[in-house]
Structure 1
Amino acid sequence: MNNDLYQEDIKQIKQQYACLDLTDDQAAFLLRHQNEPYPTHTEYYLNTWEHHDYEDHIFQKILNTAQFDHYLERREARLATHIAFLKQQDEEIKRNIEYKKQLLSYYCHTYVPQLLQTRLQYPNPFFAHRSKIRYIKEEYSNCCKVWKLRVTSQHFRNCRNYSPQLFELHMLDLQLLNIMPDYQQFKADADMPTQTTLTFLLDKSRCYLADFISFFDQKEAEETRTKKDAAIAVFGKAATSGWHIEPLPESNEERSNRLLFLLLMIEKVPDNGQANSCY
């Protein structure tokens, strides 16, 4: 590194931590620390709390007692700001919870019962491969349990107990995944044998989808109206468009797979509105 640039970097470090009155050697140590490669990884990363703990470890190695005490004061102030942000953000989640509850009520009491009633008219295509369907249902149940563990661990790792409303929203999302099985999410997490079995079932059932298309066409229009009505009731008239209202774009094959998966997987919703596989 050019010596002039190096000295400029040292100067910037000392200015950044001016309240600690760093020596050149201390600033050089922090510069080396900051320049260490920090690859991003979906599984291995430091959250806010862990990052502060790691910084504590680094600063404690180079600061004297007075400097480190002052550093800890600044650290507590930064954490207090972050906690305040989490609490404020959590307050804004309340309306999302009400919106999600309205959707869950629609799927529990309207959509699923009507789909089950319609499916009873055509039992044969699903009876022929009932053992494979049972296997897929068990695998989906296992995925739901993993999703809950993943969401729970990530939430409390990143938010601790400062975002209870956000956690409730996460649990409602999981509840919806139980009531309305999600093909794309399951396919992404399923192992190869499960994907192979799923593909087999979808292919064998595809010729029967035409019997249900009119029902799904009607229900998709009804879903959009229900989401808009719920959005107006909870958020106001300005929130009647966007990803939470309009269906996501998908190819004909993707739509076919999504609907067939729903037909194969759908079950009666318990009276409490919660599917046992996640709770």
Structure 2
Amino acid sequence: MSFIEDARWFAAPPAAGANARPGRVTLVGAGPGDPELLTLRAVKALRGARLVLYDHLVGKEVLRYVADDADLIYVGKEAAHHTLPQESIIDLMLRLTRSGRSLVRLKGGDGFIFGRGGEEAQALADAGIAFDVVPGITAAQGAGACAGIPLTHRDHAATLVFATGHLQGDGEVALDWQALARPRQTVVIYMGIGNLPVICAELVRHGLPQDTPAALVEQASLPGQRCIEGTLQSLPQLALQHRVRPPALIVVGGVVALRPQLLKGLQAMNTR
């Protein structure tokens, strides 16, 4: 297979002829990282692809399912470092498909859960480009299952909320803190490690006790996975102490306290 690390190299596909049929796009969720958590439909799409645009959180083990004669274009986005801005990624997809090439757009987790897949699907629909969507196991599901934290539980959490901890344009984490601080729910925050002290402080300020169980799950489902447990009060300091780095999720709620009990079973399973 051909890896193209600089997407700008591929940014000018040949112009389509007057009668050329446009290609189609398959938006594929690659899951949280472990290739064994790919869906069968995702594997089928990767094996049939001849052109794949993939993100930063898609591991090399997942890319092994792509055919040897395919082109792979890296369009990953990391904090403060984007290979291509989102608008340019969409423009690249449109120009490639209009030139007659079909492609797989491969995203970590699920593309429709904080993966900007919705924006890309909108652009494709507006341009009249046919597309399919293959859902993936989102990072929160992978983190909960692998770390021993059930995201819902009859005794602890009747509500599950996903949120993003990215800074907004005004430099603030603009979230509905009152809704996030409700009792008997689990809150999973994506992309919030850099703003962890603010997130924990705001949740406490809006009503959650300081001793509310909370955890950080780093590199969920991968060999380097770590889970750091604490409370809303202690978690920011624990993150510094353990040097937690993205990709990592913040999990808040009573379900985190179940981890020690569930971990016994998980460890027994892993030693068989």
TM-score, normalisation: structure 2 = 0.23
Q: Which has the larger radius of gyration?
A: 1
Structure whose residues are more often helix by fraction: 1
Structure whose residues are more often strand by fraction: 2
